[in-house]
Structure 1
């Protein structure tokens, strides 16, 4: 698949199964991530990879966060299982550094670009993925457990694996609806 086709036919795959990325594929996915735009070469990213037992550990973090919010019953049980919806979950964290010319927002966006690069690399490798955020990306229990401090931000949880079904052919918005000229 050429780069323009990959970008113009980008899609999310919410239903994922084994196999997830193998070691070589993961290396390629991470190599794509670190090519994200990076003003002043700050490398403002951290990637926390959960697979196998790591998915259960991430589930326990979500479970503790749900408990702290006062959730119970099915909501609490669901929290523990969320990471097991894919064979691999990469938590993408913007690690903000003080810099006179690179504000925190630019570093957050750089980490977001890294997340998209990883999803596109996975898709190019024949895998599927979905970038999720949700309340756990902003939860203080999750932030603490993953070492997210200060202006650092979890920009998303990238779920990766083999799509269970072919992505639906959704109509794309017309770019002209979002363009104006000065």
Structure 2
């Protein structure tokens, strides 16, 4: 085919660069629903992956992922770029939500176990049990609140979720040696706060 018979394609236009997660989050903070849809597509996979890893239940992880993305929509204005990337901010929310779900589930399991261990010959006093559980939880919460964020999150992941030190380090994005130190220091502070003998 001669030169005249060839199809001529229009000159390539420079591809538009996709906005960053930080830019999308800034637009979401201003109420831009289209930016939220783009941000959703960008972060939904990592959020679901993290939630699944913490919860080990795909169904619960999907629920937590939806809660996280609603929270991102509502709290986008609180994102501070100087404190880290937008993805890190979103994943921190996801991690906290997933850990909260684990704690709530574990508290329910503990209550059921305590009820099952009670002497069946004695009438079950729900008011007393509820009061004791509330005091115990309040005391543990107060002691956990006294720890640093890294100590608290490391302990929850290692002791409630059964993660190894390297896995905890990966989730929290710190060195394994740092995780070991934070867990050791955190356990010492918890023991002292709760008045547990060595």
Flag whether TM exceeds 0.5 (same fold).
Answer: no
Which of the two has greater helix per residue? 2
Higher relative contact order, structure no. (Cα contacts within 8 Å, ≥ 6 residues apart):
1
TM-score, with structure 1 as normaliser: 0.30
Q: Which has the larger radius of gyration?
A: 2
Which of the two has greater strand per residue? 1
